Structure 1
């Protein structure tokens, strides 16, 4: 789907909403309430009434700030990405590509370990978007945000030309996302920390090998 098509389907809120300090605080409270309701009770239980109750606002107030459930879910997704960004970008990462890949994976896994309910909520958010007619843009936005986020962190090689650097970083980010998604499901299902650690080490080695493949390949 093109960016234009995705943008056309994404819900929007009125431009004036949230421009005041009180409005911004109310909007933030609604988003937090929705995120907590999603993490605690899952997507099936996430209704506008439940979100309003969790945020301690009237239902009419919620609809003033968000015109649909999808608009709220988009705001929740953006809030989750912001929290992840704040958690990751405060940690120093090595400039050496292989060390950087290993450190990033371990940082990701540490964050996942302390946000278990949020990880399940994000999986549910993806499935909801894919199953709900007209909401596929939300899953695309979600995965695009993860890929952009990982691509900013995974590589810092000043010897590579900019275009090649961006191409390799995006490819590595997609590879990381594939592996982490599978590892989350396996670990939450099996509850085996030893297997999780072995699998994480395997993902690190596989990504380092993939990086070598990408850098050895002739630049287009």
Structure 2
């Protein structure tokens, strides 16, 4: 087995964990199955991750990173702020539609963390990460398309995290893409309104 820098090996194992957990579920995925998925020995896994909590946190951050990269690329100035915001939501939604299992996994990870003694902080961290991410995206949006909000960025970030979380879960349960698109349109309208764009 070729030597690989620790950060690269952690990335390899995290991506393998995402594939295994998406396919088999969190509770049925073992460190042995993740190592097998990655094509490494169990000792390599334990060298990279000293606890299941560390692995799960890496999985949560990596899944979020998968779609944040797409959203950031989509947030380019358009004719209106509303169009720019909606393009960001569309990039997120394209990821949901392309990888529903990965998004389903995020809900399973939340439930798992809340039910396991000593893991509750991971569920809190997951939702803090969502809010932090929206805060960063809003600041990036304000940088490229200056505007003032009628509410604090932190409040809007929590609102957007809650709304997209709900829309995503509803889509995973019901499967109605048209309804999800209409809700995302309404959220984009709301954000533009909070920035004084009518």
What range describes the TM-score normalised by the shorter chain of this pair?
A: 0.7 to 0.9
Q: Which residue does the alignment assign to 1:70?
A: 53
- Mapped partners of 2:63, 2:175: distance in 1: 24
SS of alignment partner, residue 93 of structure 1: coil
- Mapped partners of 2:113, 2:41: distance in 1: 26
Question: Please, which moves more after superposition, 178-187 or 94-103?
Answer: 94-103
SS of alignment partner, residue 109 of structure 2: helix
Within 5 A, what are the aligned runs for 1:52-201? 52-94=35-77, 96-154=80-138, 155-156=141-142, 158=146, 160=148, 168-201=152-185
Over residues 171-220 of structure 1, what are the superposed CA-to-partner deviations in whole Å (9 max), with x where a residue is unaligned? 222111111111112212222233223333333334444x259x9xxxxx
CA change 1:201–1:65 in 2 (3 A) is same
- Mapped partners of 1:92, 1:203: distance in 2: 16
* TM-score, with length taken from structure 2: 0.82
Asked whether the 8 Å contact 2:86–2:184 carries over to 1, the reply is: no
SS of alignment partner, residue 84 of structure 1: helix
Q: Displacement of 1:39 after TM fit? A: 1.6
Over residues 142-163 of structure 1, what are the superposed CA-to-partner deviations in whole Å (9 max), with x where a residue is unaligned? 1111111112223416464xxx
Asked whether the 8 Å contact 2:110–2:126 carries over to 1, the reply is: yes
Q: Displacement of 1:75 after TM fit? A: 1.4
CA change 1:169–1:51 in 2 (3 A) is same
- Mapped partners of 2:187, 2:82: distance in 1: 12
CA change 1:60–1:170 in 2 (3 A) is same
- Mapped partners of 1:197, 1:84: distance in 2: 17
Over residues 107-156 of structure 1, what are the superposed CA-to-partner deviations in whole Å (9 max), with x where a residue is unaligned? 22122211211100111111111111111111121111111111222341
* TM-score, with length taken from structure 1: 0.74
Question: Please, which moves more after superposition, 200-209 or 140-149?
Answer: 200-209
Asked whether the 8 Å contact 2:67–2:92 carries over to 1, the reply is: no
What is the aligned length? 190
Asked whether the 8 Å contact 1:33–1:55 carries over to 2, the reply is: yes
Larger Rg: 1
Gaps of 5+ in 1: 1-19, 216-220
